[in-house]
Amino acid sequence: MRKEYDFSKGERGKFYRPDAELHIPIYLEPDVAKAVGAQARERAASMGAVVNDGLRNSIRSRATSAS
């Protein structure tokens, strides 16, 4: 690495996109991944769909029990 860099010709915010969506990777523990994989095969769905459905159900039940 250089000691100093010249940013005098740089353009602030050149790659900034306010409407960009952030896709966060989620890492499952091996036992959870195995169970989710089995459910996904049973339902002929992706593991992501199974995880999202489970999380939605959890969120709904918490919202219902908090009311």
> pLDDT tens, 50-64?
999 999 999 999 988
Q: Comparing 48 with 67, which gets the higher pLDDT?
A: 48
pTM exceeding the 0.85 threshold for the entire prediction: no
- Write out pLDDT tens, residues 23-47: 889 999 999 999 999 999 999 999 9
67 has pLDDT over 80? no
- Integer-rounded Cα Rg, in Å, for the chain is 21
Residue with tokens 């999380």: 55
Residues found in the chain: 67
Q: What is the pLDDT of residue 66?
A: 78
22-27: long-range contacts, CB 8 A cutoff, minimum separation 24: 26/51
